[in-house]
Amino acid sequence: MRRQSSGFTLVELIITISVMAILAGIAAPSFLQSID
């Protein structure tokens, strides 16, 4: 199984986006509370 030239497979891209979305969902409320 060859790697894509971009270095990212679709699965890796989905996992990365999912992790970032979870972190954003956790960080956003506390960040908004700290402003308020």
> Cα separations (Å) of 11 from 2, 4, 5?
14, 12, 15
Distance in angstroms (rounded) separating the CA atoms of residues 16 and 18: 5
Residue 2 has pLDDT above 80, yes or no: no
Distance in angstroms (rounded) separating the CA atoms of residues 36 and 34: 5
pLDDT at 6: 66
Please compute the mean of the pLDDT values over residues 3-28 and round it to a whole number: 88
Q: Which one is predicted more confidently, 2 or 28?
A: 28
Please compute the mean of the pLDDT values over residues 4-33 and round it to a whole number: 89
Please compute the mean of the pLDDT values over residues 20-35 and round it to a whole number: 91
